[in-house]
Structure 1
Amino acid sequence: MSERIFITGIGTGVGKTLTAACITEALEADYWKPVQTGLMEGTDTDTVVSLLSNNVSVCHPEAWRLQAPASPHLAARLENTSIDTNRILELSGQYQPANRPLVMEGAGGLMVPVNETVFTLDLILALKARVVVVAQNYLGSINHALLTARMLQHTGVPVIGWVFSGAEHSNEEDIIRWSGYPKIGHIPLTEQVDKAFVKQQAQLLTTPLHTLLA
């Protein structure tokens, strides 16, 4: 199963990296975050590496590592550089395993600018990836979730489904019904995010992922 799975969120800080780790573990996929900003806070790649248990997954190095905790285009601008999305496309071909998925993690949501002309949604289309949308319950999250779904529907991006994270969502079923996208799973709050937790959640996600990817 050679797939490109792009992890996006309805906003920032909704649980994309933990979700990416769980899906990478569930599918024994490779992981790649093309652009990392906010290096002072550590990297998402390092976090995923620390959470995986299997001996198959490879976590590939970022194409851009930028200091400022900002959108990729702004973080690059502050360092007098620019992100070349053609390089991201080139590397995605090099990193794609022959018989396993490549899980890619974006920054923030769909309309985060990658550079001065390309948004994350444009990059997903160019990568020909299928999307997992991560949602978290907060005031305004229904609006953000359905705006995300509407953009994906409008552009025809193939969507695998929703992963809900954090506290239980009273609005999960509404979001599923209104968007028409299925639920892959729910990653709950925990006091200890470690390999054991990720492995447990990965086991719960494995069957629905394989079903939806078939």
Structure 2
Amino acid sequence: MKPQKQHLIVAGISTEIGKTVASAVLVEALQADYWKPVQSGSLDDSDTRTVQQLISNPVSQFHPEAYRLTQPLSPHAAAAIDGVEISLENITLPETDNHLIIELAGGLMVPLNNRDLNIDLVQRWGLPVVLVSRNYLGSINHTLLSVEACRSRQIPLLGLIFNGPATPATESFILSYTGLPCLGRIEQEETLTKAIISHYAKQFTRLADAVGA
């Protein structure tokens, strides 16, 4: 019997954390499909297009966004400008027999409308979260708050990815305090290419073991 394919949600502790780069690495590591439910701004150069351009394997499929918003703002604000309201009922998981990497628009507590946050969507699906962290003043606080938010709602956390220059003191504290595994780390890269993404993907062996790939 073939192992069941896993769906994973990629969340960041804040904005500009590197979720899209981490998503590309995960897609390549698992030869998974990719989906970003809500795209705010950069419609001609979307995150879906970015990931697609960084992937080398011939298996991954890229599913269309549920909402494509014109302004680079929080989804609830961008949707209001575009005259639409984001509804959780309209954000349905794409059908696929493959692994699926789902990249959120912003952090867990980002509003999708006047009632619902990203974390409400995550809780609705009940899928495991991969949390992307990056070192800056306050990042320990943001990482621990994100972990606590998931745990308070019984949302499973698969582990952490650290993006950017290594900060051993910060990373070791986060891992020790949360008890979560580090699934991999991505250094600060001046440019991103298919070869660089493939290089990192080969190092994410702990992720493959966690999902049975």
TM range (shorter): over 0.9
Q: Deviations over 1:118-141 (max 9, x none)?
A: 111110111221100000001110
What is the letter of the counterpart of residue 116 of structure 1? N
Work out the CA distance in 2 between the residues paired with 1:213 and 1:3: 6
**Which residue identity lines up with residue 8 of structure 2 in the other structure?**
I
Alignment pair present for 1:72 and 2:75: yes
Match of 2:133 in 1: 135
- Of 185-194 and 38-47, the range deviating more from structure 2: 38-47
Most deviating of 103-112 and 36-45: 36-45
Return the letter of the residue paired with 1:71.
S
**Cα drift, residue 96 of structure 1:** 3.5
- Say whether the 8 Å CA contact 1:52–1:198 is kept in structure 2: yes
Kept in 1: contact 2:13–2:132 (CA 8 A): yes
Instruction: Write out aligned runs for 1:77-96 (5 A).
Output: 77-89=80-92, 92=93, 95-96=94-95
Distance in 2 (alpha carbons) for counterparts of 1:2 and 1:88? 20
The two structures have a TM-score, normalised by structure 2, of 0.94
C-alpha separation in 1, matches of 2:154 and 2:125: 13
Consecutive unaligned residues in structure 1, runs of 5 or more: none
| Contact 1:4–1:128 (Cα < 8 Å) also in 2 | no
1:213 Cα deviation after fit: 2.3
Q: Helix, strand or coil: the match of 1:107?
A: strand
Q: CA deviation at 1:78?
A: 1.0
Distance 1:158 1:58 in 2: 25
* Identity across the alignment (%): 40
1:112 is aligned to 110
Alignment partner, residue 18 of structure 2: 15
Shift of 1:210: 2.0
Match of 1:195 in 2: 194
Which stretch of structure 1 is more off in the superposition, 183-192 or 193-202? 183-192
Q: From 23, 28, 34, give the equivalent of 1:25.
A: 28
Aligned 1:157-176 pairs, distance under 5 A: 157-170=155-168, 171-176=170-175
The alignment partner of 1:156 has SS state of coil
The alpha-carbon deviation at position 40 of structure 1 amounts to 6.0
- C-alpha displacement of 1:188: 0.6
SS of 1:204's partner is: coil
Tell me which residue corresponds to 1:182: 181
Structure 1, residues 29-70: CA drift from partner, whole Å, max 9, x if none? 100001000226721001000000000000111111111111
Secondary structure of 1:147's aligned partner: helix
Q: Which letter does structure 1 place at the counterpart of 2:129? A: V
Q: With structure 1 as the length reference, what TM-score do the two structures score? A: 0.94
Cα deviation, residue 179, structure 1: 1.2
Aligned-pair CA distance for 1:187? 0.5
Once residues 40 and 6 of structure 1 are traced to their aligned partners in structure 2, the CA distance between those partners, rounded to angstroms, is: 21
Task: Report the 3-state secondary structure (helix = DSSP H, G, I; strand = E; otherwise coil) of the residue aligned with 1:19.
Answer: helix
Distance 1:41 1:176 in 2: 38
Could you say which residue in structure 1 is the equivalent of 2:51?
A: 48
Aligned-pair CA distance for 1:107: 1.3
- Give the Cα separation in 2 of the matches to 1:202 and 1:117: 37
Q: Count the aligned residue pairs.
A: 208
For structure 2, the residue ranges without an aligned partner over 5 or more in a row are: none
